[in-house]
Amino acid sequence: MLASLDLSVVAASLPYLFGEGMVFTLTLTALAASGGLVLGTGLALVRLSGVPGLTHAAKLYVELMRALPLVLVIFWFYFLMPYLGAWATGAASPIQVGPFASALITFTLFEAAYFAEIMRAGIQSVPKGQSAAARALGMSYAQTMRLVVLPQAFRNMLPLLLTQTIVLFQDTSLVYVLSLTDFLGAASKVAQRDGRLVEMYLFAALVYFAVCFAASLLVRRLQARIAVVR
């Protein structure tokens, strides 16, 4: 029962939980979000490019990633990476890829599909006249995108991109299936070592809730501010 909760377990493991676990979670989230955003924007541009083969390839990639459970994708890349690495480096046998590198690549590629859909909507939300005007001024396609369309697309989609990053922050907890020590992994290891599952999991839930709730409130405020300016 709740009265028998032993909070000293939580207190004693705080340095481990945050110093190792949360740092890992935040690092993975930040790296995967930035990598996914760059790659996703590229995918969105390819998908909107209208080049027959490329457009379909980008669409296929996005649809495939979005149709599969993240857990399965994590396993896929965990086992595929050594072979892909061997192929890329020309090595004769599968090479060693650490679980962190594997998780980072997985989340980057997986999130890229989701960010691509957001950016596609973002690019389409910029009125056609904007890119037409840029082309009329003599800008190249690259200049039009970099200086005119993408900055507006990012601005319009900022709340959605940040919300997706909060989802990513939550989803990184699934590296648990690779036995990595993210925040939940750290809590889980302490919980099992000390037989204190109730305290540790409740505390983990509380921390995730506090972080995500605060972040989503900030996103909402940002959204309101952007809406007023426009």
Partner 1 sequence: MTYHWNWGVLFEPSPEGTGTYADMLLSGLAWTVLTALGSWAIAFGLGSVIGVMRTLPSRAANAVGAAYVELFRNVPLLVQMFLWYFVLPELLPARIGAAVKQMPDAPFYTAVLCLGFFTAARVAEQVRAGIRSLPRGQALAGTALGLTVAQTYRFVLLPHAYRIILPPLTSEFLNNLKNTSVALTIGLLELTARARAMQEFSFQVFEAFTAATLLYLAVNLVVVAGATLLERRLAVPGGR
Q: Which is nearer to partner 1, 25 or 144 (CB)?
A: 25
3-state SS, residue 98 = coil
Q: How far apart are CA 165 and CA 9, in angstroms?
A: 31
Under the binding rule (CB under 8 A), the answer on residue 94 touching partner 1 is yes
* Residue 21 near residue 185 (C-beta atoms within 8 A): yes
Q: Which is nearer to partner 1, 56 or 146 (CB)?
A: 56
The region, left, alpha or beta by phi > 0 then psi within -120 to 50, assigned to residue 188 is alpha
* Residue 161 near residue 170 (C-beta atoms within 8 A): no
Draw the binding track, 57-86, toward partner 1 (x: CB under 8 A; -: no contact). Answer: -------x--xxxxxx--xx--xx--x--x
Draw the binding track, 1-20, toward partner 1 (x: CB under 8 A; -: no contact). Answer: xx------------------
**Minimum separation from the CB atom of position 82 to partner 1 (A):** 10
Q: How far apart are CA 31 and CA 106, in angstroms?
A: 11
Under the binding rule (CB under 8 A), the answer on residue 51 touching partner 1 is no
Draw the binding track, 164-183, toward partner 1 (x: CB under 8 A; -: no contact). Answer: ------xx-xx-xx------
Provide the H-helix boundaries in the chain. Answer: 7-16, 23-48, 52-67, 70-89, 99-125, 128-136, 141-143, 150-171, 183-194, 197-229
Draw the binding track, 106-145, toward partner 1 (x: CB under 8 A; -: no contact). Answer: ----------------------------------------
**Minimum separation from the CB atom of position 71 to partner 1 (A):** 4
Binding site for partner 1 (CB under 8 A): 1-2, 64, 67-72, 75-76, 79-80, 83, 86-87, 92-94, 170-171, 173-174, 176-177, 184, 188, 197-198, 201-202, 204-205, 208-209, 212-213, 216
